[in-house]
Structure 1
Amino acid sequence: MKGWGCMKARTGKLTGSDHLAGYLFISPWLIGFAGFTLVPLLVSLYLSFTKYDVLSSPVWVGWDNYRTMFTNDERYWKAVKATLIYVFTAVPLKLAFALLVAMLLNARMKMIGFYRTVYYLPSVIGGSVAVAVMWRQLFGVNGALNSLLAALGVEGKISWIMDPRTAIWTLILLGTWQFGASMLIFLAGLKQIPSGLYEAALIDGAGALQRFRKITLPLLTPVIFFNLIMQIIAGFKSFTESLLVTGGGPFDSTLFYGLYLYEKSFKYFDMGYGAAMAWVLLLITALFTAIIFKSSTQWVHYESKGK
C-alpha cells in the first residue's frame, strides 16, 4: 500500500475516491457559498425586476426600477455624485497619507511597534458609533475645530457637518483618517525592497526625492495597485460615515449610494428598487476595477516581469 501511494504521488493521477474526498473537505465552503452568496445574489437579481415591499409577494415590473432610477429619481443622481466625489477624493488622499506614514514608520527607531499600533487604531475603530459621535462634536458649531479657529482670531462659527459646502469634506477627512490598513500593507511592501538598491543610489549621489521616484515608487507599484483596488471597492460601499455623522444631509450633499440603497430598502420598504440599485453598484464597481486592471499593464512593474 505504501508503494502504491508513492507510485500514485509520482504519476500525479487521482482516483474517483480522491476527488470525492476533496469535495467532502471543501463542502462546508461550498454550502456556505451557495447558501449565503450565490442564492441571495440570484434572488436579488430577480427582485430587481419586481415591486416588492417584504409584506406582500413580489410583482414583476420588468425594467421599471431601472428606468425610474435613471430617468425619474433626482436623489439617486445626488447619491451617485456624492459617492463619486468621496471615492475620487478620499481614496487618493488616504493612500498618499498611508504611504507617507509607512515610510516614516519604516525607519529604525525605539518603540516602533507601539507607533505602528497607534497609527493602525483609527482603521479598527473608525466605523464605530463612538467615532461618529466624536466627529460630530469636533465639527459641530461648538466643536473643537471652531474653538481652535476662534483662538487663532477667526470669527464666525459654522457647523461644518451641516453646511452643504463643507459636509462632504468632513466625511472625506474621516475616510482619510482611517488609513491604518493601507499603511500596514505599504509598510510590508517597503520592507521587501532590497536596501542595497538605496545604498547604490546613495553612492551615485541620488537625493531622497530621486530615490523615492526611481526606486521606491516603481518597486511599490504592485502594492499600490492592490491598495487602490481594495480602497476603490470600499469607497463605493461607504455607508457608516454618511449614516452616523451627517445622516446624508444637508440637502443630500452627503447621501452616499449605500445609504440611499439602505433607505429605499429598509426605510421605504422598496426592496425591488433597492435590489436594482445594488446591481447597478456592482456593475459600477466592476467597471472601475476593470479599468484599473486594464491600465495596470502601463504602470505596475513586477520584479519577475520579462524573465
Structure 2
Amino acid sequence: MVIVGRRPARHRGEALAGLALASPALLVFTVFMFVPLGMTAYYSLTRYTGFGEPRFQGLDNFGQIGSDPLFWRALVNTGVFTVISVPLSVLGGLGLALLLNRHLPGRGLLRALFYVPVVISAVSAGIIARWIFNENFGVANRLLTGLGLPEVGWQTDGPAALASVIAVQVWTSLGFAMVVYLAGLQGIGAEVYEAAVLDGASRWRMLRSITWPLLGPTSFFIVVYMVITSFQVFDIVVIMTGGGPQNATTFLVNYAYDAGFEQRRQGYAAALGAVLFVIVMALTLLQWRAGRRRDVA
C-alpha cells in the first residue's frame, strides 16, 4: 500500500520538474509563436489599417483572396520556386556530401567553403547576388559574353529574374543539405558496404540500394525543412528584385508584406498569412504521411 501510494506522488514530482525545465521554452513559443498565430487569425477577420480599431468583417478578406489575380500569381511563383529550388538543393547537397565524405586533400576546408553561404545573412547574400546579376557590370553577363553567349536581362526579364533568385536560394541552402547528409552518411556502418562489395555490387547499385534508402529519414527532414523555408523566402527577393519585373518574383510572403505595410491593408495581409500557414501545414502533413508510408513499406 505504501509503494502504490508513493509512485503517483513521485511521478507528479517528475512531471512538475520536467514542466519547470521546459517552461522557458514554452514561454518563448507562446510569446513568439502562439500569440502571433492567434492575432493573425483575429486580424484576418477584420478590416484594419494599423491605426484605430479593427472592424470585424468575417470572411470577406478570404473572399477577396480567391478573386485576387496577384495572389494567384504570387502562389504560382512560390510553387515554381519551390518545385525547382528544393530538388536542386537536395540533390546538390547529397552530391557534395557523397564527394566530401571521402578522404580527399583539403576536405575540411572544402566543407567549410560550401557551408559559408548558410551562415551569412540573407541580406548579405542578396547584395552579393545583386552585384553578380547586375545587367550592366555583373559577373554573370560578363561570363556569358566571354563564352560568346548573349547577355541576359536578369532584372528586366521575368523568367531570368526568377531563375536568378532560384540560383541564389540553391547556393545558400546547398551547405545545409550537405552537412545534414554528411551526418547521415557517417551513421551508416562500413560493414554494410563491405558486405555489398563482397556480393559484387557496383557503386551505383550501392548508392541506389543501400545509401539512398538508409538516408530516407535524413532526406525527409531536409525536404520538409526546405519546402517550409522556400515558402518563407523574403529577404533575398526584396534585395535582388523587389518582386519585379512585373511581379515575376512576387512571392506570397512579399505580397503579404506589401499588402500590410505598403498598402496598409493589415487585415488582408493577416488573411494572406493565414492562407500561407495552411498551405505550409498541408504540405508538411502530406510529406509526413508519405514518409510514414515509405517507412511501413
- TM over 0.5, shorter chain: yes
Partners of 1:153 and 1:34 in 2: CA distance? 57
Q: Deviations over 1:180-234 (max 9, x none)?
A: 1111110000001111111121222211111100110010111001111111111
Give the corresponding residue for 1:169. 163
1:97 aligns with 2:92: yes
Of residues 147, 150, 156 in structure 1, which corresponds to 2:142?
147
The one-letter code of the counterpart of 2:10 is L
Give the corresponding residue for 2:280. 285
Query: Offset at 1:289?
Result: 0.9
1:38 aligns with 2:34: yes
Partners of 1:49 and 1:117 in 2: CA distance? 47
Q: Deviations over 1:35-57 (max 9, x none)?
A: 33222221211110000111111
Q: Determine if contact 2:161/2:245 at 8 Å carries over to the other structure.
A: yes
Partners of 2:7 and 2:44 in 1: CA distance? 50
Q: Deviations over 1:11-43 (max 9, x none)?
A: 474276665554444333333333332222212
Query: Offset at 1:111?
Result: 3.1
Q: Determine if contact 2:243/2:251 at 8 Å carries over to the other structure.
A: yes
Of residues 157, 178, 183 in structure 2, which corresponds to 1:183?
178
Give the corresponding residue for 1:225. 220
Count of residues in correspondence between the two structures: 293
1:75 aligns with 2:70: yes
Give the corresponding residue for 1:131. 125
The one-letter code of the counterpart of 1:28 is P
Report which stretch shifted further, 80-89 or 264-273. Answer: 264-273
Q: Determine if contact 1:218/1:300 at 8 Å carries over to the other structure.
A: no
Relative distance call for 1:52 and 1:104 in structure 2 (3 A) is same
Where 2:159 maps in the other structure, the secondary structure is coil
Partners of 1:15 and 1:223 in 2: CA distance? 35
Q: Deviations over 1:55-87 (max 9, x none)?
A: 11100111110000111x211111101100001
Partners of 1:20 and 1:158 in 2: CA distance? 62
What percentage of residue pairs aligned between the two structures are identical? 32
Give the corresponding residue for 2:79. 84
Give the corresponding residue for 1:260. 255
Cα root mean square deviation, aligned? 2.1
Q: Determine if contact 2:152/2:160 at 8 Å carries over to the other structure.
A: no
The one-letter code of the counterpart of 1:133 is I
Relative distance call for 1:193 and 1:285 in structure 2 (3 A) is same
Where 2:211 maps in the other structure, the secondary structure is helix
Report which stretch shifted further, 197-206 or 53-62. Answer: 197-206
Q: Determine if contact 2:132/2:139 at 8 Å carries over to the other structure.
A: yes
Partners of 2:11 and 2:188 in 1: CA distance? 44
- Indicate the structure with greater helix content: 2
Q: Determine if contact 1:133/1:245 at 8 Å carries over to the other structure.
A: yes
Structure 1: which 5+ runs fail to align? Answer: none
Query: Offset at 1:250?
Result: 0.5
Give the corresponding residue for 2:152. 158
Partners of 2:203 and 2:62 in 1: CA distance? 53
1:54 aligns with 2:54: no
Q: Determine if contact 1:80/1:256 at 8 Å carries over to the other structure.
A: yes
Give the corresponding residue for 1:29. 25
Give the corresponding residue for 2:202. 207
Partners of 1:258 and 1:65 in 2: CA distance? 16
Partners of 1:19 and 1:188 in 2: CA distance? 33
Partners of 2:18 and 2:169 in 1: CA distance? 42
Where 1:165 maps in the other structure, the secondary structure is helix
With normalisation by structure 1, the TM-score equals: 0.89
Relative distance call for 1:16 and 1:146 in structure 2 (3 A) is closer
